[in-house]
Structure formats: C-alpha cells, structure tokens
A = this chain, B = another copy of it.
Amino acid sequence: MARKTYIAAINEALFEEMRRDPMVLLIGEDVRIGVFAGTRGLHKEFGDKRVLDTPISELAVAGAGVGAAATGLRPVVDLMFGTFLYLAFDQIANQAGAMRYMFGGQTRLPLVYMVQNGTGASAGHHHSQSVHQFFMNMPLIKVIMPATPYDVKGLLKAAIRDDNPVIFLNHLALGGQRGEVPDEEYLIPIGQGEIKRSGSHVTVCSVGLMVHHSLKAAKELEKEGIDVEVIDLRTLKPWDEALVLHSVAKTGRFVAVDEGHMVCGAASEWAATVAEKAFHDLKAPVKRVTSKPVPIPFSPKLEKAVVPSPEEIADAVRQVLGTRVPA
C-alpha cells in the first residue's frame, strides 16, 4: 500500500486495464502527451495504435466511441472537460444511451467517456461546470465521480470492464489529492456508495469534491457535539439508494450536498428520493446545499462563493438539527 495522487491512481487504472485487455484503447484530445495527466505514459507503452490523438471534434469522437464499442472494442474516450460533452450530447443521449434498447438488445456498448468535472481551476464558466446531472437523467448511462485515489482507481477499472456506457468524471480539483492505494489489484462495484464518516445525528450525502467539504464540515460540527454521517455515493447512476435510506433511518435527518446547480440536479434527486421513501424516518425537512443559481464566475473569490463551502454545509446540518434558525 502506498500513498498516491488521484491522478496517479487514474493512470494506474488505465495502465492495468490496457495491459489486461487488448480491446481497450484510448482515444481523445492530446491523450498521447497526456494533457490530462491521467493518460500520461500510456502512448509510450502502448503505441500509436492504442493511444490515439484525435482532432478537436467532440461529436464525431464520441460517436466513434459508440461505433467502436458496438463492434468489439472497449474504448476509453477522453474529452478533457465536462463541458466539452455538451458538443457530444447528441451522440451520448441518442446513440450511446439508447442504441442497445432502441435496437431491442442487439448490441452492448462497453464504452467510457472520461472528463474532468466541477470547479477548482478558476478557469471561468466554460471550464468549471458540473455536468453529471445531465447524464444522470439519461436512462441507460452510468455516471461515476470518485472522491479519492482509492475509489478512482477501483471505479475506473470497473467502468472499463462494464459493458454499458459510462460517463466517468474525475473531479477537476482532486487531481493532486493523495491517499492510500493498494498494490494488489482491486475493483469497486459500480453503484456502491460508501460511508466516509459514520455518525448518528444527520446524514450528509455528496460526491466528488463535496465529500471533502462535507467531511470538513463534519469535523467542525464535531466540536459542537454534532455527529454527522457522510456518505460518498461515488457512483451517481445507478446510485446507492439503500445506503442512503438506511442511514436516514438511523439519523432521521438528511442534507444533500452537490456542486452542480440545484434545479434538476443531483441534490434534488437525493432529497426527493429520501422525502418519498424515508418520509416517516425524517425528523426534520430535507435540505439541499448546491451551487448558487449562476454561471461559475472566474474570480477565485466568487467561484468559491458560488460553490457550497464547508461552512454552508455545516450551517445546513445545524438547520436540520434545529440548532440554528434558518436565515
């Protein structure tokens, strides 16, 4: 076991899966040089045929992933940033996410779209959005966003082996995050959340960077005698409803924390589900903490203010506990 960065864990996952299965190939923008450092070094080992730079053509590259997956390959398509998937939206929704069903089960699509999601680079709206909610809405797309080096490795390996299309979101701000990564091979089942901190007073459900913010909030709240359970869903679709409902059955209180925008976002989904299925466990209203309803501003100060902070999360927890009057 060694401490590795989130990026290094991604890199390891790609190396291992490409060594394991010759049908896995990597295509995308500047994947050879590794503009997203997670792909670095692969070209050197696997060569031109398995690591392919493409023109800047998200729509066709996404479509090519579908065609390749439908005919025997297991492509990993790197499209750099979540927002660039907007240009490929049609091929993801109408082809990747529909083909198998629409054609009555004639094919399977082992296909991973890999991008960076969320804020953290102060790069302005076009490079800082959270896009997971869009793909969560698509019925047959899996969506994953791990929060730790351990999770990102195990889940990326699982995603590559999965026979369904997966949107694999690396959180932009977590690349340098360090954590334990075992030397021996492991996989993490898609769809399994994890309690990152167990607690008895309130359930906080989150994903990606927000897991870390939630843990910070929990730490702070500890001082006030508040014992927070922090769930990291890890997989956004299909998501670990049972884990969340079980936790709420214990705590009776629920806070959904998501970096995306609120309306039709992940936090709304979790909150609605809890309200629908765990209503009688709830001792207080569910509460959502999300980014403010504006594009992501450039200024680091404003960007930080738009995204949920540990303080806001802590406040939300206090609110559902009734220890703080809502503003």
Interface residue ranges, A against B (CB under 8 Å): 59, 83, 86-87, 89-90, 93-94, 97-98, 101-102, 124-126, 129, 133-134, 136-140, 237, 256, 260-261, 263-269, 271-277, 279-280, 282, 284-288, 293-295, 297
Contacts and interface: CB of A to CB of B under 8 A. Distances in A.
Contacts of A237: 263
5 contacts: A89-B90, A101-B297, A264-B264, A264-B268, A276-B288
Contact of A101 (B133, B266, B294): B294
A274 B268 CA distance: 11
Most interface-central of A264, A265, A294 (chain B CB within 10 A)? A264
Given A134-B137, A276-B285, A279-B286, A264 B269 contact: yes
Contacts of A277: 285
Contacts of A256: 272
B272 A140 contact: no
A265 B134 CA distance: 9
Contacts of A265: 137, 264
Contacts of A274: 275
Nearest to A137: B264
Contact of A285 (B90, B102, B279): B279
Most interface-central of A89, A237, A272 (chain B CB within 10 A)? A272
Quick one: copies of this chain in the complex? 2
A134 B136 contact: no
A103 B293 CA distance: 16
Given A101-B295, A277-B285, 18 more contacts: A83-B93, A86-B89, A93-B129, A98-B125, A98-B295, A102-B297, A134-B137, A139-B295, A264-B266, A264-B268, A268-B268, A269-B272, A271-B271, A272-B272, A272-B275, A274-B275, A279-B282, A279-B286
Contact of A134 (B134, B282, B286, B297): B134
A162 B299 CA distance: 29
A83 B93 CA distance: 9
